[in-house]
A and B are shown apart, each in its own frame.
Chain A
């Protein structure tokens, strides 16, 4: 009896907690509302199944608990019931998978006009690079990294000279423009995650990965590292500022290009 009641309370308590929980996803700031919808759909289907199974279990525990004179029935199988349950489950699983794959297709397919921004992670700092006026990112390689060239740009690639380099500072993004992040790491695996964007992708040394989204809300958001990268993993953060195009342009103009930075280090070296 008590056991059955507690099982019911566990099921209902879980539903209640879900409804009342003040801990919920952050207000979305990107185009990935689809992801939220898929999560909601999943909550509905799995929530229904969970409650149904636990309540059924509770009912059995209550109704068929041992009492003097009770005898269990003897029914080894029931093929029809087993098949129906199998088919029902397959339908439910299909209902989750189909929309999931549909959205995944969008998630991995970058739209044509997306602007490119490079994210370069290192222990334990985020760096960024914008393509500059020519709209093209210059080549880069971990082997080029030095104190005057922390992102490892190829100094001989003309495309790289006007690239804007942001070292350990905030990234700004224009509102409403799809952006493709090219992700690179010069030491260990890190992961780029902004909860409000719903997007996440690992940065793996040796390869370039990507993720895309369109910021849909202005504001300042936090980038967290979500792949264990050593002692200060928990503290590897940066700000991402989404703003109107005009403010964004003003910000870009204030940033240093790769050419300017190299010139400055060369000068610094010369005066020594």
Chain B
């Protein structure tokens, strides 16, 4: 029975194949645009997110330099008649070291919500060149962990990131800083720590993050080199960077770490709220455009079915007179609409993939983004799924109302009208 109604739908569709083709092309076009647009927009989103989010720890543990809460005066002068006024409170000279960092790292590594941990030591320095001092920041890192968690090596445009570990007293300079210092790989630069100690460091690499302000000041050494520079012990670190398995849990877990480890912890959402907003607005725009196109295509289908029903009134009347029920007639026209939707949709997905692939081939070179050679495109299957579902849903609705009208045709009126 279903086979029969399908074969009738198919015959009606073939009899009007030009119009149905136009309708299907409408769907194909809108799905193609939808996929290409979302792929491109989200490729861009992922790229921009990558710029910041890939390189930003989900949670960062550090120690804010603050005056201690229990001032010494309070310890010695206290009773109910005494109230201490302290002016010009200053933080203690204790730097931003995280105490107990070894134990914290061990605990974090055994936490199964944590993907990876990378300790860091950040310190202010001056790069000395001739008579000029340029201020900068040295990040002492565990280069293996940094590569694994933050794809650090992707941004090292010259030299090998792992040399930081193998070559002693080595440094990877930001491109901006290297340009100012006029140095290249193999050269030795002089660095003055904020305690006035001078060290010689060998340049083993140049990195470019894509963000100018970072490339001008930041540079990387191994943790031990940074500790030597500062003249501190080998358990001195200032930051613990954490990547989680589920990024969305970051705020909650950060709060937990804050209280259990008695440290400061900031999550990525709080640190980079503005990037999230940008991404979601871009996605929203592409969805809106895609859905608008689909609705337009839906109206096309609606029109063609309506026209078909007016043309085929006799057919509908005789089908009903010979014992086809209203719901069977409805099914015939709904299946015409869905056939248009499914074929148009599948073609649209294929063409959408093709268009995305073409965009992906277009060269896109920018000094700011060293790892990007062509336009970024996302092939996330999610968009293909959404596109497919949308094409079927819109054509179903576009077909629903004409089909209902067809099912309500009164054969007596049509036959009397002849």
Partners in one complex: no
Q: List B residues at the A interface (Cβ < 8 Å).
A: none
Q: List A residues at the B interface (Cβ < 8 Å).
A: none
